[in-house]
Amino acid sequence: MSKPRVAIIGLGIMGSGMAGRLLSANFPLSVYNRNRDKSAPFSSAGATAAVSPREAAVKADIVISMVADDVASRSVWLGENGALAGVSRGAVLIECSTLTVGWIKELAAAAAQRGCELLDAPVTGTKPHAASGELSFLIGGSEAALATAQPVLSVLGREFIHLGPTGSGALMKLVNNFMCGVQAASLAEAEYMIGAGGLDLEKALAILTRGAPGSGLVQRAAARAFANDFTPNFPLHLMAKDLGYAIGEASHLGRSLQTATSALAIFKDAIAKGYGDQDFSAVIKSQQRG
């Protein structure tokens, strides 16, 4: 059987890694990015560089979006030049961005009107996981659509967790990311205490990362902060966005996320200090003395 034709919309840190994986596996691929310069390496490698999301989606069996937020997602899917205007009936649409549940449900309804199915399939993992095909997909939508998308997702990830109907993947991703943000913010405050109290940083971090607080995220963030390497795998401003989305979603569910609210304040402070485009682990540096 021939491989499905795929379109990827959004060639940022994650989307570019995903596009590279599909090209290496010889999938017919079209790509779109608002900054067309980012499409050039992929067109040189055999992809079709589209001038609009609509053009990218015209011949695709699977359309994948990986963009920053609800506003960006809405702009690439809807409107005269949006992907939904060009997509064929029966195509499976995969929204991999971290978005609000409300927008995902609105998008799914718009997709259904076009005779398509939507999977909300945000991912866990960062830049190296996207490039190596080791992402984990948190999936909401029908089992039939997931089965159709499986050949493509198998190239992009190592794990596919079907969580339930439309919106389930988006909700789980917000839960995941708000907990990550809380851990990073707590580590930032911990490192402040370590420095202010005159403790040896290397010894203190060894105690934290090897002991009960030492989640994988804490270990990686501590290592990056200790090395003073904040090259973005996941930009800090996007973590702040995800914390805000999670707080809003919890409010719809009748809950106030007090830990996420406190963490968001710390991340907003880091953005105000100029760390927004660095890796989210730079929140640690933003809280250091001096």
Which among 137, 153, 130, 133 is positioned nearest to 232, based on CA atoms? 130
273 is catalytic: no
Q: How far apart are CA 135 and CA 115, in angstroms?
A: 28
Which among 145, 167, 162, 159 is positioned nearest to 64, based on CA atoms? 145
Q: Which of 173, 268, 273, 285 is catalytic?
A: 173
Cβ–Cβ < 8 Å for 61, 4: yes
Q: How far apart are CA 199 and CA 225, in angstroms?
A: 16
Q: How far apart are CA 104 and CA 110, in angstroms?
A: 10
Q: How far apart are CA 231 and CA 279, in angstroms?
A: 6
Q: How far apart are CA 290 and CA 274, in angstroms?
A: 15
Residues catalogued as catalytic:
173
